């Protein structure tokens, strides 16, 4: 395993971690101030800042871009809705290319409105990803399929295990031409009894494109906005990082925390804390 | 599939569905009043009523007992804690036998205090279940291992997929001597992309001991207390019932709804609604 103490070189800030008190410009400056060498923007603040402006600012501060969040959400009630999601994801690929992002985070999406058919949603997500894959390859921006926790299956993401994401990559990229892989977020996968073989399989195919960290609090008070800072919860972070690195991953460790608690705090405190926890509990 | 319209014979009320406004005695009477032929008590109200009294009352009202909730919760900080859970589960087996319950619902339990080791919790759960299995067999009360949704992995139940429960049954009962099986609750398993083969496998081994229903609401506002009435959410209930019945299950359909909303309502309204939905959307 990589030694993290005294060395922030693999740390990345996902903008959502400070989203209530920082626009993207302030988040870029804060990373530079704290010696955090990478950032993962979201599209809304990126578009608000202007993509050219943001790209320059990121470059001027010497930051890497561990990923762009996010596109996908393919299932829809009709063909027009599905095409709109495909078109939007193609634009996201271009945005990711413009800022030099190492990948685009792709969420499958939940069930279409008024549907109870998860299998249909999964087929629509597969078809959507297949439709944008050529554009991702041409742009040199790989699609990072992120399985989300099963509690989001209905309304956010119908890809809910790493095994499922691996299967999808194998189906859409049988010859390992690349352009598609997975994002592994500890929050979404730590519970999975099949996590170890799934990480090994993703790594063996060279498909681990991103590694996101936070923690699972006990109790968890909200399905969406109660993630913990690393070390404050029950996830065996070192074990999972060990599995991911043993599988060949040598990229960024990106901190993504949706939390009303952390969003209220001074962004400098948030960045200091995450840099400290990265070195001591990851 | 069985025809449910006009025929309540497979409907069972899990007491927790009315727990805020009914003790067990009132719930038994309410079932009889509404033509609901079965009930699944919880241990606390059962003990409060007195097990002999409850057994008589259930018999006098002609009710079947689809299961007793619940025991298990094996992982603990030390050997004494683990032994206490084993002892308690043996008492639960005796209670289940005394009221003629068709199974005892067994929850694995979450991680021990101050632990981040899910694999350890899973081993301790397996060892606990193995320790009580002979007593269950002797008493004629099969253990129904209930996988809970992954959002409960940390603090309630480290068995989170039906595949995992099936594996555990196969490990502890390699010769299919019985005494152990699974409880399938739609709320916990509907998201699982491997649900169909897991149900088929459980059924082929004769191990589906209970089938619990409710619905998954969108949005879900609370991790524990926001389950929906059948038909109010997004679970494809008919599909899952079809899979369970195609796998050979011919037992009760037990309604278990933890919901602040439904707990506030008149129990007669709750029972009327569940009997209606059982016939129309299940």
Per-residue model confidence (pLDDT) at position B240: 98
For residue B13, give both structure tokens: 């009320």
- The structure tokens 């030694």 sit at A3
What is the percent of chain A with per-residue pLDDT over 90, rounded to a whole number?
100
Q: At how many degrees (to 10) do helices B237-246 and B195-204 cross?
A: 30
Report chain B residues whose CB lies below 8 A from the CB of A160. Answer: 191-193
Say whether B118 and A190 touch across the interface (CB within 8 A): yes
By DSSP bridging, strand B68-72 and strand B104-107 are parallel
Each residue of A114-124: pLDDT tens digit? 999 999 999 99
- Residue A238 sits at the vertex; the CA angle it makes with A233 and A242, to the nearest 5 degrees, is 145
Nearest to A234 among B111, B151, B193 (CB): B111
CA–CA dist B70, B93 (Å, integer):
9
The residues pairing with B185 across neighbouring beta strands, listed in sequence order, are: B212
Q: pLDDT per residue over A84-114, tens digit each?
A: 999 999 999 999 999 999 999 999 999 999 9
Say yes or no: A111 contacts chain B, CB-CB below 8 A: yes
**B164, B191, B219 member nearest A150 (Cβ):** B191
Query: Closest Cα of chain B to A10: distance in Å?
Result: 24
Share of chain B above pLDDT 90, in %: 100
ipTM of the complex: 0.97
Helices and strands counted in chain A (H then E): 11, 9
What tens digit of pLDDT does each residue of A130-145 get?
A: 999 999 999 999 999 9
DSSP state, residue A82: H
Q: How many CA atoms, within 13 angstroms, populate the side-chain half-sphere of residue A161?
A: 20
Q: Which of A83, A56, A250, A223 is nearest to B222 (CA)?
A: A223
* A279, A6 contact by CB (below 8 A): yes
**What is the band of B227 on the pLDDT scale with cuts at 50, 70, 90?**
very high
Option in A149, A154, A219 nearest B234 (CB): A154
Residue B223: which of A150, A161, A220 has the nearest Cβ? A220
pLDDT value of position A179:
98
Mean pLDDT of A65-80: 98
Q: What is the mean pLDDT of residues A266-277?
A: 98
Write down the mean pLDDT value for chain B. Answer: 98
**Tens digit of pLDDT for each residue in B181-216?**
999 999 999 999 999 999 999 999 999 999 999 999
Task: Give the pLDDT confidence of A37-70 residue by residue, as tens digits.
Answer: 999 999 999 999 999 999 999 999 999 999 999 9
Query: Nearest CA to CA, how far is B189 from chain A (Å)?
Result: 9
pLDDT interval class at A238 (50, 70, 90): very high
Confidence of residue A252 (pLDDT cuts 50, 70, 90): very high
What pLDDT is recorded for position B74?
98
Residue A109's nearest CA partner among A67, A147, A162 is A147
Contact across the interface for B154 and A191, Cβ inside 8 Å: yes
- Condensed to tens digits (0 to 9), the pLDDT of residues A142-182 reads 999 999 999 999 999 999 999 999 999 999 999 999 999 99
Q: What is the pLDDT of residue B175?
A: 97
Most A CBs within 10 A among B112, B147, B191, B217, hence the mutation to make, goes to B191
Position B16 scores a pLDDT of 98
Assess A216–B contact: CB distance below 8 Å, yes or no: yes
Backbone dihedral region for residue A176 (phi beyond 0: left; psi -120 to 50: alpha; all else: beta): left
Whole-number pLDDT of residue B48: 98
Helix (H) or strand (E) segment spanning residue A44: helix A43-49
- Among all residues of chain B, which has the CA nearest to that of A219? B155
Residues 6+ apart with CB under 8 A from A252: A10, A11, A12, A38, A64, A66, A102, A210, A211
Choose among B104, B98, B11: nearest CA to B58: B98
Inter-chain residue contact B234 with A111, CB threshold 8 Å: yes
B146 and B155 in contact (C-beta within 8 Å)? Answer: no
Tens of pLDDT, residue by residue over B13-59, are 999 999 999 999 999 999 999 999 999 999 999 999 999 999 999 99
- Which 3-state string (H, E, C) describes chain B? CCCCCCCCCCEEEEHHHHCCCCCHHHHHHHHHHHCCCEEECEHHHHHHHCHHHHHHHHHHCCCEECCEEEEECCCCCCHHHHHHHHHHHHHHHHHHHHCCCCCEEEECECCCCCCCCHHHHHHHHHHHHHHHHHHHHHHCCCEEECCCCHHHCCCCECCCCHHHHHHHHHHHCCCCCCCEEEEEEHHHHCCCCCHHHHHHHHHHCCCEEEEEECECCCCCCCCCCECECCCCCCCCHHHHHHHHHHCCCCCCEEECCCEHHHHHCCHHHHHHHHHHHHHHCC
Tell me whether residues A191 and B234 touch, CB distance under 8 A. no
First-residue to last-residue Cα distance in chain A = 11
Report pLDDT digits (tens) over A195-225: 999 999 999 999 999 999 999 999 999 999 9
Distance, in Å, from the CA atom of A190 to the CA atom of B152, rounded to the nearest integer, reads 12
A259 shares contact with chain B (CB less than 8 Å): no
What count of residues does chain A have? 282
Instruction: Encode pLDDT of B97-126 as tens digits.
Output: 999 999 999 999 999 999 999 999 999 999
Host H or E run for residue A245: helix A237-246
Give B250-274 pLDDT, tens digit per residue. 999 999 999 999 999 999 999 999 9
User: What pLDDT is recorded for position A139?
Assistant: 98
pLDDT recorded at residue A247: 98
What pLDDT digit, counting tens, does each position of B125-155 carry?
A: 999 999 999 999 999 999 999 999 999 999 9
At B29 the pLDDT is: 98
- Residues in Cβ contact with B167 at an 8 Å cutoff, skipping those fewer than 6 apart: none
Q: Do A191 and B220 touch (CB under 8 A)?
A: no
Distance separating alpha carbons of residues A189 and A243, to the nearest angstrom: 13
Of B118, B151, B216, the CB nearest to A149: B151
Name the band, by pLDDT with cuts 50, 70 and 90, for residue B220: very high
Position B87 scores a pLDDT of 98
What pLDDT shows up at residue A169?
98
| Both tokens assigned to A281 | 């509990």
**How far is Cα A151 from Cα A188, in angstroms, rounded to an integer?**
9
- In the DSSP assignment, the letter for residue A255 is E
């Amino acid at each position: 395993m990589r030694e993290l103490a005294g060395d922030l070189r693999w740390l990345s800030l996902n903008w959502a971690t400070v989203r209530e008190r920082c626009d993207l410009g302030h988040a870029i400056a804060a990373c530079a101030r704290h010696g955090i060498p990478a950032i993962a923007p979201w599209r809304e603040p990126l578009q608000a800042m202007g993509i050219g402006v943001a790209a320059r600012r990121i470059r001027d501060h010497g930051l890497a871009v561990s990923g762009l969040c996010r596109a996908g959400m393919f299932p829809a009630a009709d063909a027009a809705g599905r095409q709109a999601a495909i078109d939007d994801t193609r634009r996201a690929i271009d945005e990711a290319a413009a800022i030099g992002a190492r990948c685009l985070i792709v969420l499958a999406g939940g069930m279409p409105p008024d549907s109870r058919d998860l299998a249909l949603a999964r087929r629509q997500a597969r078809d959507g990803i297949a439709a944008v894959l050529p554009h991702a390859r041409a742009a040199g921006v790989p699609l990072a399929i992120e399985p989300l926790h099963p509690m989001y299956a209905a309304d956010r993401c119908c890809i809910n295990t790493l095994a499922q994401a691996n299967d999808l990559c194998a189906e859409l990229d049988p010859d390992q031409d690349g352009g598609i892989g997975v994002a592994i977020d500890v929050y979404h996968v730590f519970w999975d009894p099949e996590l170890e073989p799934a990480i090994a399989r993703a790594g063996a195919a060279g498909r681990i494109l991103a590694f996101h960290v936070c923690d699972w609090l006990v109790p968890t008070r909200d399905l969406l906005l109660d993630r913990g800072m690393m070390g404050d919860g029950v996830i065996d972070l070192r074990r999972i990082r060990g599995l991911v690195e043993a599988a060949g991953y040598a990229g960024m460790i990106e901190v993504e925390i949706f939390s009303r608690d952390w969003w209220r705090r001074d962004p400098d405190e948030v960045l200091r804390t995450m840099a400290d926890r990265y070195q001591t509990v990851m």
